């Protein structure tokens, strides 16, 4: 699994446009083959910080997303960031759940 995380710090004039652009990506992206989840978050401590998180089954499927025409809108939103945007791609080889907490506490 690959997790793509984009962190954008918006300015007062660009925030609405960034949010509108990224919200528009959620439904279509979530329907793409290989996309496990696609969520947009606002930081509770700093409303200017917007984070888009996508989880993909494979790097190949994420690469199709990154090379798509639709992804140009995301790149445009990144250009509106007040600071250097945070762009991270993490490969996850194992995912645990409640059993990890139980094991650590026993």
pTM of the model: 0.91
All domains of the chain in start order, with CATH: 2-105 (3.30.70.100)
Number of helical (H) and strand (E) elements in the chain, helices listed first: 4, 4
Query: pLDDT (tens digit, 9 = 90+) per residue, 27-78?
Result: 999 999 999 999 999 999 999 999 999 999 999 999 999 999 999 999 999 9
Query: pLDDT (tens digit, 9 = 90+) per residue, 2-12?
Result: 999 999 999 99
Beta bridge partners of 53: 5, 39
Work out the percent of the chain whose per-residue pLDDT is above 90. Answer: 100
Measured distance CA(106)–CA(104) in Å, rounded:
6
């Amino acid at each position: 699994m690959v997790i793509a995380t984009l962190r954008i710090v918006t300015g007062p004039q660009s925030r609405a446009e960034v949010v509108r652009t990224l919200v528009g990506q959620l439904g279509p992206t979530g329907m793409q083959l290989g996309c496990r989840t696609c969520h947009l978050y606002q930081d509770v401590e700093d409303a200017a910080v917007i984070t888009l998180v996508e989880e993909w089954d494979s790097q190949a499927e994420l690469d199709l997303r990154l090379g798509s025409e639709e992804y140009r809108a995301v790149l445009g939103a990144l250009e509106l960031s007040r600071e250097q945007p945070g762009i991270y791609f993490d490969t996850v080889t194992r995912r645990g759940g409640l059993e990890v907490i139980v094991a650590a506490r026993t």
